[in-house]
Amino acid sequence: MLTLILIVCAGLLGLWICWPKIGLLARWTQARLLAARSQQEDVLKHVLKCEANNQPPSIHSVAGVLGISSNRAADLLSSMEARGLISHQDGCLHLRPSGRELAVHVVRAHRLWESYLAEQTGVAEAEWHPQAERQEHLLSPQQAEALAAQLGHPLRDPHGDTIPAAGEELKSDVGQPVNAASLNVPLLIAHIEDEPETIFAQLSALGLRPGMKACVTEKSPREVQLWADGREYKLSPILANNIAVLPLPEVRTEDLFGEEFLDHLKPGEQAKVVALSPACRGPERRRLLDLGFVPGTLVEVEMNSPMRDPVAYRVRGSIIALRSEQARLIQIAREATASAPA
């Protein structure tokens, strides 16, 4: 009896290991193939971005991006060259037509997936990039196109990067780093670099987003002071270097400093909603709009909690409690101040 049990167990173990498609060996083989394909696609993505920004890609830059040795990078590039994905001329890497098509698809899939996570899920912002890094290798061109249609064919991802259409050339990054911007000049945050992830996580935690109006108020070798959406941010130069800005010639500096947000409002004061900050995205943005915080709506402070967080606001006859970080996302224009209660 014991022998029979052992034979049955051995047979089941063999099936678990060797069963086609779903067995342990099959899944291990699939994982290795996916890892190898993902690595090659990461190389193509790197070369494409370098070309778009007039930066020469090389064996050493590929090794740095993938975190591998130069020898391993050279072997990988040789394999990709044999497959007709890239060519190596004059000391630089170049994409062949098939490699360029695949590279554009990977970048498109990544940016569409980040847009999906930002606009239609409650996934934390720090998870958008790592999740998209995995999903970009799994989406087929047909799935990417269906996702684009679901999202309304967005032109930019949550970081301000252009989402290329299928078969389209990748456009260069826009703007200049905050470090290089002049003092007290109105700017638009056009892009926030999502790599390295540790830097992006710090910028996300601060609440800085593409689309915000800003200006640099002070600069030193150790710190950059940035005014954005009614608040002052103190950034290290390495953080500021990951924020790209464009000039806003139609905006006056004094108007920029005069912008106010709902968390500035005191009891007895009224204001009209001007807009929701670009920092407000996805489900949170839809919730605030559903609650009535739409442009032109009159809002007043109904009551403060003992710690002034949350605060109760009267909106369209309803009382809505918001935390300070939520109220900070709603830009306002003050109405005439009512008499404060005695």
- Whether 127 is covered by a domain: the verdict is no
- Torsions phi, psi of 147, nearest 5? -65, -40
- Whether 121 is covered by a domain: the verdict is no
Distance between CA atoms of 35 and 321, rounded to whole angstroms?
A: 48
Q: Do residues 262 and 334 touch, judged by C-beta distance below 8 A?
A: no
- Whether 105 is covered by a domain: the verdict is no
Please check whether residues 282 and 308 belong to one and the same domain.
Answer: yes
Q: Examine the pLDDT at 15 and tell me if it is beyond 60.
A: no
The pLDDT tens digits for 325-335 are 889 889 999 87
- Residue after which a domain boundary falls, among 235, 256, 277: 256
| Cβ partners under 8 Å of residue 102, min gap 6 | 41, 44, 85
- Structural domain count of the chain: 3
DSSP, residue by residue, 159-205: TS-B-PPTTPPPPPP-SEEGGGSPBT--EEEEEE---SHHHHHHHHH
- Whether 148 is covered by a domain: the verdict is no
> Which two tokens mark 336?
């005439």
**pLDDT the model gives residue 195:** 80
Percent of the residues in the chain that have a pLDDT greater than 90, as a whole number: 45
The pLDDT tens digits for 240-284 are 999 999 999 888 988 888 888 998 888 888 999 999 988 788 888
- Whether 113 is covered by a domain: the verdict is no
Query: Where do runs of H (alpha helix) occur along 19-69?
Result: 24-52, 59-66
**pLDDT the model gives residue 339:** 45
Distance between CA atoms of 31 and 286, rounded to whole angstroms?
A: 38
- State the average pLDDT over residues 120-137: 89
Going by pLDDT thresholds of 50, 70 and 90, the confidence category of residue 20 is: low
Please check whether residues 181 and 250 belong to one and the same domain.
Answer: yes
Please check whether residues 63 and 81 belong to one and the same domain.
Answer: yes
Please check whether residues 181 and 252 belong to one and the same domain.
Answer: yes
Q: Examine the pLDDT at 29 and tell me if it is beyond 70.
A: no
Distance between CA atoms of 229 and 189, rounded to whole angstroms?
A: 11
pTM for the full predicted model? 0.76
Q: Examine the pLDDT at 12 and tell me if it is beyond 70.
A: no
Please check whether residues 242 and 264 belong to one and the same domain.
Answer: no
- Whether 19 is covered by a domain: the verdict is no
The domain that holds 309 is classified in CATH as 2.30.30.90
Please check whether residues 287 and 247 belong to one and the same domain.
Answer: no
Closest alpha carbon to 209 in 113, 146, 128, 279: 279
Please check whether residues 239 and 266 belong to one and the same domain.
Answer: no
Distance between CA atoms of 65 and 52, rounded to whole angstroms?
A: 17
| Cβ partners under 8 Å of residue 191, min gap 6 | 159, 160, 161, 173, 174, 175, 210, 243, 244
Average pLDDT across the chain, whole number = 86
Please check whether residues 328 and 266 belong to one and the same domain.
Answer: yes
CA angle 307, 311, 315 (to 5 degrees): 170
Q: Do residues 261 and 329 touch, judged by C-beta distance below 8 A?
A: yes
Query: What one-letter code names the amino acid at 308?
Result: R
- State the average pLDDT over residues 70-98: 89
Closest alpha carbon to 166 in 187, 179, 149, 182: 149
Q: Examine the pLDDT at 218 and tell me if it is beyond 70.
A: yes
- State the average pLDDT over residues 92-97: 90
- Residue after which a domain boundary falls, among 49, 83, 98: 98
Closest alpha carbon to 140 in 148, 130, 129, 152: 148
| Cβ partners under 8 Å of residue 139, min gap 6 | 109, 112, 113, 147
Residue where the block lists tokens 């109405």: 335
Going by pLDDT thresholds of 50, 70 and 90, the confidence category of residue 341 is: very low
| Cβ partners under 8 Å of residue 95, min gap 6 | 44, 47, 48, 51, 85, 86, 103
Please check whether residues 263 and 223 belong to one and the same domain.
Answer: no
The domain that holds 53 is classified in CATH as 1.10.10.10
Q: Do residues 245 and 233 touch, judged by C-beta distance below 8 A?
A: no
> Which two tokens mark 194?
């999502």
The pLDDT tens digits for 144-167 are 999 999 999 999 898 888 999 887
Q: Examine the pLDDT at 109 and tell me if it is beyond 50.
A: yes
Q: Do residues 339 and 268 touch, judged by C-beta distance below 8 A?
A: yes
Q: Examine the pLDDT at 318 and tell me if it is beyond 70.
A: yes
Q: Examine the pLDDT at 26 and tell me if it is beyond 70.
A: no
- Whether 293 is covered by a domain: the verdict is yes
Query: Could you tell me the residue range of the domain that residue 93 belongs to?
Result: 24-98
Q: Examine the pLDDT at 6 and tell me if it is beyond 70.
A: no
Q: Pick the residue with more confidence: 181 or 91? A: 181
Going by pLDDT thresholds of 50, 70 and 90, the confidence category of residue 295 is: very high
Please check whether residues 296 and 268 belong to one and the same domain.
Answer: yes
Q: Pick the residue with more confidence: 68 or 341? A: 68
- Whether 158 is covered by a domain: the verdict is no
Going by pLDDT thresholds of 50, 70 and 90, the confidence category of residue 13 is: low
**pLDDT the model gives residue 231:** 87
Q: Examine the pLDDT at 16 and tell me if it is beyond 60.
A: no
Q: Examine the pLDDT at 93 and tell me if it is beyond 50.
A: yes
- Residue after which a domain boundary falls, among 256, 276, 306: 256
